[in-house]
Structure 1
Amino acid sequence: MAGRLGVTASRVLSLAGVVALIGVLPWLSGRSPELSVLRARSAEQEATPEALAAIRADLGLDDGPLALLRSWLGGLVRGDLGTSWVSGTPVGPGVGAALGVSLTLMAFALLVAVLTTTLLCLPALRRAVRGEPGRPSGVGGAALTALPEFLLASVLLVVGAVWLGWFPPYGWDGPSSAVLPALAMGLPAGGLVGRLLADALTAASSERWVLSWQVAGATRAQVARALVRRALPSLTTQVALVLVGLTGGAVAAEQVFAVPGLGRSTLGAAESQDLPALQAGMLALLGISAVFGIAASALRVALLGRAVRTGTVPVADPVRTWRGRDRVLPGVCAALLAGTVAAGLGRDPVTSAHARLAPPSWALPFGADASGRDLLARVAHGALDTVGTAVLVTAASLLVGLLVGLLPRASVGPVEVANAAPPVIVGVLVAAVAGSSLTGAAVAVLLVGWAPVAAHVAAVGTEVRASAYVRVLPVLGVGPLAVTWRHVVPTLLGPVTRNAVLRLPGIALALAALGFLGLGPTPPSPEWGLLLAEGMPYVERAPWTVLAPTGALVLTAVLAVSLSVWSRRPAQPAGTSTTSNVRVGATNSS
Structure 2
Amino acid sequence: MRTVLWRASLASALVCGIGLLPWLSRTDPALTVLKARAQDRDPDPAVLAAIRDQLGLDAGPLTLLGRWLGGLPRGDAGRSWISGAEAGPVVVQALGASLLLMAVALLVAACTAAAVCARTLYRGGRTRPGGTGSAMLATLPEFLTASVLATVVGVQLGWLPALGWYGPQYTVLPALALGLPAGAVLGRLLDDQLPGAFAEPWARAAAARGLPRARVARQAVRRCLPGLLPNTALFVVGMTGGAVAVEQLYDIPGLGRTTLQAALAQDLPVLQAGTLALLLLAALATGAARLAVRLLTGPALRDGALPAPPRLTPAVRRTPPLLLGGALLAVLVAGLPRDPLALNTTARLRPPSWAHPFGTDALGRDLLARVAHGALDTLLLALLISAGTLLAGLLLGLVPRLSGPLADTVNAVPPVLAALLVTAVTGGGPATPALAVAAVAWAPLATHTSALLRQERAALHLTATRALGAGRWYLLRHELLPAVVPSVTRHALLRLPGTALALAALGFLGLGAQPPSPEWGRLLAENQPYAERAPWAVLAPAAVLAVLGALAVTSAGALHRRRPARLTGASETAAEAEPRTARPVGTVREKAVR
Deviates more, 1:389-398 or 1:531-540: 389-398
Secondary structure of 1:314's aligned partner: coil
Provide the rounded CA distance (Å) in 2 between the counterparts of 1:39 and 1:176: 36
1:105-254 aligned at under 5 Å gives the runs: 105-128=101-124, 133-136=126-129, 138-216=131-209, 218-247=211-240, 250-254=243-247
1:316/1:578 contact within 8 Å kept? no
Q: Secondary structure at 1:71's aligned position in 2?
A: helix
Which is further off, 357-366 or 227-236? 357-366
- The one-letter code sitting in structure 1 at the alignment partner of 2:180 is L
The change in CA–CA distance for 1:153 and 1:428 in structure 2 (over 3 A counts) is: farther
Structure 1 residue 420: Cα displacement: 4.1
Cα gap change, 1:457 to 1:155, in 2 (>3 Å): closer
Letter in 2 for 1:260: P
Provide the C-alpha distance between the structure 2 equivalents of 1:24 and 1:17, rounded to a whole number of angstroms. Answer: 11
Q: Deviations over 1:446-488 (max 9, x none)?
A: 111234555678789999999879x9999xxxxxxxx99xx99
Cα offset for 1:176? 0.8
- Whether the 8 Å CA contact 1:359–1:367 is kept in 2: the answer is yes
Q: What is the letter of the counterpart of residue 203 of structure 1?
A: G
1:520 counterpart = 2:529: no
* Equivalent AA in structure 1 for residue 233 of structure 2: A
User: In the alignment, what sits opposite 1:359?
Assistant: 351
**Structure 1 residues 336-485: aligned runs within 5 Å:** 336-355=327-346, 356-397=348-389, 409-427=401-419, 429-430=421-422, 438-452=430-444
Shift of 1:161: 1.6
Q: For residues 16-165 of structure 1, what are the structure 2 equivalents within 5 Å?
A: 16-41=12-37, 46-56=42-52, 58-128=54-124, 133-136=126-129, 138-165=131-158
Letter in 1 for 2:330: G
Distance in 1, Cα, partners of 2:491 & 2:134: 23
Alignment deviations for residues 492-521 of structure 1 (CA, whole Å, 9 cap, x no partner): 8x9599579735444212212222233322
In structure 1, what is the Cα distance between the partners aligned to 2:208 and 2:129? 26
CA shift at 1:276, angstroms? Answer: 2.9
Structure 1 counterpart of 2:409, which letter?
A: V
| Contact 2:244 2:414 survives alignment (8 Å) | no
User: Identity rate of aligned residues, in percent?
Assistant: 50
The aligned counterpart of 1:331 is: 322
- Separation (CA, whole Å) in 2 of partners of 1:567 and 1:415: 25
SS in 1 for 2:340: coil
Q: Is residue 294 from structure 1 mapped to residue 287 from structure 2 by the alignment?
A: yes
User: In structure 2, do the counterparts of structure 1 residues 291 and 136 end up closer, same or farther at CA, with 3 Å as the change threshold?
Assistant: farther
In structure 2, give the amino acid aligned to 1:367.
Answer: G
**Residue in 1 that maps onto 2:569:** 577
Q: What is the CA–CA distance in structure 1 between the aligned matches of 2:102 and 2:313, rounded to whole Å?
A: 33
Residue 110 of structure 1: how far off its partner (Å): 1.0
Partner Cα separation in structure 1 for residue 243 and residue 284 of structure 2: 15
Cα-Cα RMSD: 3.8
CA deviation map 1:434-455 (0-9, x unaligned) = 7876422111111112345556
Secondary structure at the aligned position of 2:350 is classed as coil
> How has the CA–CA distance of structure 1 residues 264 and 365 changed in structure 2, closer, same or farther, with 3 Å as cutoff?
same
1:392/1:117 CA distance change after superposition, 3 Å: closer
Report which stretch shifted further, 386-395 or 178-187.
386-395
Q: Which amino acid aligns with 1:101?
A: A
| Residue identity opposite 1:534 in structure 2 | E
SS at match of 1:312: coil
Q: Distance in 2 between matches of 1:500 and 1:110?
A: 20
Higher relative contact order (CA 8 A, sep 6+): 2
Q: AA paired with 1:329?
A: P
Distance in 2, matches of 1:169 and 1:456, equals: 35
Distance 2:156 2:337 in 1: 36
Cα displacement string for residues 295-339 of structure 1 (whole angstroms, at most 9, x for unaligned residues): 22221111012254331322224523243x2x3333333333333
SS in 2 for 1:316: coil
* Kept after mapping to 2: 8 A contact 1:24/1:68: no
Give 1:429 shift: 4.6
Change (3 A) 1:127 1:264: same
C-alpha distance in 2 between matches for 1:399 and 1:142: 23
1:562 aligns with 2:554: yes
Q: Distance in 2 between matches of 1:237 and 1:564?
A: 22
Structure 1 stretch 46-55 or stretch 288-297: which is displaced more?
46-55
Question: Please, which runs of 5 or more residues in structure 1 have no aligned partner?
Answer: 475-482, 580-590
Larger mean CA deviation between 395-404 and 262-271 belongs to 395-404
Normalised by the length of structure 1, the TM-score is 0.82
1:37: how far off? 1.9
Mapping of residues 537-548 of structure 1, within 5 Å: 537-548=529-540
Secondary structure at the aligned position of 1:313 is classed as: coil
1:32 and 1:550 mapped to 2: Cα distance?
40
**Residues 113-135 of structure 1 deviation map (CA, whole Å, 9 limit, x = unaligned):** 1222233334432332xxx8344
1:125 partner letter = L
Distance 1:570 1:511, change over 3 A: farther
Q: Kindly tell me the number of residue pairs found equivalent between the two proteins.
A: 560
Structure 2 stretches of 5 or more lacking a match? 572-594
Q: CA deviation at 1:150?
A: 1.5
The 2-side partners of 1:122 and 1:403 are apart by 34
Cα displacement string for residues 525-547 of structure 1 (whole angstroms, at most 9, x for unaligned residues): 21101211111111121222213
- For the 8 Å contact 1:441–1:514, the answer to whether it is kept is yes
Residues 81 and 276, structure 1, Cα contact 8 Å, conserved in 2: yes
Inter-CA distance 353–223: structure 2 relative to 1 (3 Å threshold): closer
Corresponding letter in the other structure for 2:321: P
Cα distance in 2, alignment partners of residues 60 and 329 from structure 1: 62
